[in-house]
């Protein structure tokens, strides 16, 4: 009986059309995730004007969406480790599409809060599984680059959302943003159902699906054929039991906690900035459309930063790179408050640079989380890290609403926003020190072979 190691199969081949299509599909999911996640920030000033509500009153609206994102990540991450990446991805995408579309029915804050929460559940479930599936089809030599490039969809979705929202709201009103944000995911679901594959590693570790494994391997390399006696394996630990508990076993506890600190602090800062930047700038006398366009440069910078940082993480010490970029992010976020009333071009450049560092480092952290855990707890690991990060974004939404209601000036607001990113840098530095100690050990445990 022959045995084929799935990891070796993927490592020894160039990226093919099938894998690239999988990455593109995951990227489209994340792009629409980014559009729908950040849409509320773009329409908030217009809702305030139309409904006559205060800035602080919109805090629970932001919080409800982020609460949904958190719960969705915590629930659907472990669900994918049990039921598979594909069914959870398809269901999550359909869910956030349906409830984004239903948001147009909102006539008061209570309805808006409900629909944003339900949309958030789907958004929270989609992201960790898109990351996991991409990671599992990418060879290790370029895994961070592939995952981060795929994840550019989130920043790109936010950037497109800013530009598109400015046009749609001017021509059709704020409801049109959610019509687009709901229709596109539902159309994508049809494509996902037909073309999105299940994770090869997941199929092998789960076992009893050799026929599906052979079919997927043939799609990666059509020149390879396996007979019915061939068995498939992966060389990695196969944790059993409650998946969340496994995040803290076999030496993973400190790593998991430090990753959670990084996710909490970086997502706190990103949502603190992106949700309230248009409102803060508009309060300084900058026209609404220009405020939205300047804010859209934040995710544009994040897209460029993600593309640039991927190769550095694959080829150098990743946590050192991430720590340094987080420090730079804190500097640029603080600078937003200093120059907010001096020059619009300079403010736009600073928004771009803050996004380059903040979002780029956060996406790098996503990639590292996906690589840190074995297959059977990978979606759980990424999902719970993102879930903890969503707690940070939820807290930031509530705190920022309070700060703005206290009439704090722009410098004070952005200076406070820079503090969490310094803490994320410290956590990354601690992980780098731990990584260096691990690499210096003489004994390396390669993991056990898991066969289907």
pLDDT at 194: 93
CB 420 within 8 A of CB 92: no
pLDDT tens figures, 72-117 = 999 998 999 888 999 999 999 999 999 999 999 988 889 999 999 9
Report which of 397, 395, 160 is spatially closest to residue 275, judged by C-alpha positions. 397
pLDDT reading at 190 higher than 80:
yes
Percentage of the chain modeled with pLDDT above 90: 33
pLDDT at 1: 58
pLDDT at 186: 96
Helix (H) or strand (E) holding 5: strand 3-5
17 burial (CB, 10 Å; 0-12 / 13-18 / 19+) is exposed
Confidence of residue 446 (pLDDT cuts 50, 70, 90): very low
pLDDT tens figures, 266-323 = 988 887 887 677 777 777 777 777 777 888 788 788 888 888 888 888 887 888 999 9
Q: Report how far residue 245's alpha carbon sits from residue 247's, in angstroms, rounded to the nearest whole number.
A: 5
pLDDT tens figures, 309-363 = 888 888 878 889 999 999 999 999 888 877 766 678 888 888 899 999 998 999 8
- Read out DSSP for 206-248? H-S-HHHHHHHHHHH-TT----TT-EEEEES----S-HHHHTT
Dihedral of CA atoms 21, 26, 27, 32 in degrees, nearest 10, equals 130
Please state the pTM of the whole predicted model: 0.81
In the chain the domains, ranked by start, together with CATH numbers, are 3-451 (1.20.1250.20)
At residue 319, the 3 state secondary structure works out as helix
pLDDT tens figures, 44-83 = 888 888 888 877 788 788 778 888 988 999 999 899 988 8
For 449, other C-beta atoms within 10 Å of its C-beta total: 12
For 440, other C-beta atoms within 10 Å of its C-beta total: 7
CB 133 within 8 A of CB 19: no
179 burial (CB, 10 Å; 0-12 / 13-18 / 19+) is middle
Segments in 52-138 forming alpha helices (H): 59-83, 85-102, 109-137
Residues facing 450 on adjacent strands:
234
């Amino acid at each position: 009986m022959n045995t084929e190691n799935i990891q070796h199969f993927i490592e020894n081949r160039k990226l093919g059309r099938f894998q690239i299509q999988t990455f593109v599909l995951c990227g489209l999911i994340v792009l629409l995730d980014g559009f729908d996640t950040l849409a509320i920030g773009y329409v908030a000033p217009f809702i305030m004007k139309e409904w006559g509500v205060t800035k602080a009153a919109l805090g629970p609206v932001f919080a409800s969406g982020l609460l949904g994102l958190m719960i969705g990540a915590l629930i659907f991450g472990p669900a994918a480790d049990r039921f598979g990446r594909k069914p959870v991805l398809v269901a999550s995408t359909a869910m956030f599409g349906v409830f984004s579309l239903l948001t147009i029915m909102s006539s008061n804050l209570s309805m808006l809060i409900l629909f944003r929460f339900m949309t958030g559940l789907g958004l929270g479930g989609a992201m960790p599984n898109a990351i996991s599936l991409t990671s599992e089809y990418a060879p290790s030599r370029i895994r961070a680059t592939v995952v981060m490039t795929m994840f550019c969809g989130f920043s790109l979705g936010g950037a497109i959302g800013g530009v598109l929202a400015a046009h749609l709201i001017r021509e059709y009103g704020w409801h049109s943003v959610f019509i687009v944000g709901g229709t596109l995911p539902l159309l994508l679901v049809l494509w996902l159902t037909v073309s999105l594959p299940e994770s090869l590693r997941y199929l092998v570790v789960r076992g009893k699906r050799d026929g599906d494994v052979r079919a997927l391997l043939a799609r990666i390399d059509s020149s390879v054929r396996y007979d019915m006696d061939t068995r498939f394996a992966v060389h990695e630990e196969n944790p059993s039991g409650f998946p969340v508990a496994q995040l803290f076993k076999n030496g993973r506890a400190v790593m998991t906690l430090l990753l959670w600190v990084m996710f909490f602090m970086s997502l706190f800062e990103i949502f603190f900035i992106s949700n309230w930047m248009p409102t803060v700038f508009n309060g300084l006398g900058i026209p609404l459309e220009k405020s939205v366009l300047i804010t859209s440069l934040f995710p544009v910078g994040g897209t460029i930063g993600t593309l640039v940082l991927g190769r550095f993480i694959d080829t150098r010490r990743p946590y050192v790179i991430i720590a340094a970029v987080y420090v730079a992010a804190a500097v640029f976020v603080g600078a937003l408050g200093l120059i907010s009333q001096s020059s619009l071009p300079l403010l736009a450049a600073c928004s771009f640079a803050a996004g380059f560092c903040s979002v780029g480092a956060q996406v790098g952290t996503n990639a590292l989380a996906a690589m840190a855990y074995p297959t059977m707890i990978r979606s759980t690991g990424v999902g719970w890290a993102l879930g903890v990060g969503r707690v940070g974004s939820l807290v930031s939404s509530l705190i920022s609403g309070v700060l703005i209601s206290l009439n704090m000036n722009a410098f004070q607001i952005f200076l406070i926003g820079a503090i969490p990113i310094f803490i994320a840098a410290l956590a990354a530095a601690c992980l780098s020190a731990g990584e260096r100690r691990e690499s210096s050990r003489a004994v390396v445990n390669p993991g056990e072979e898991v066969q289907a």
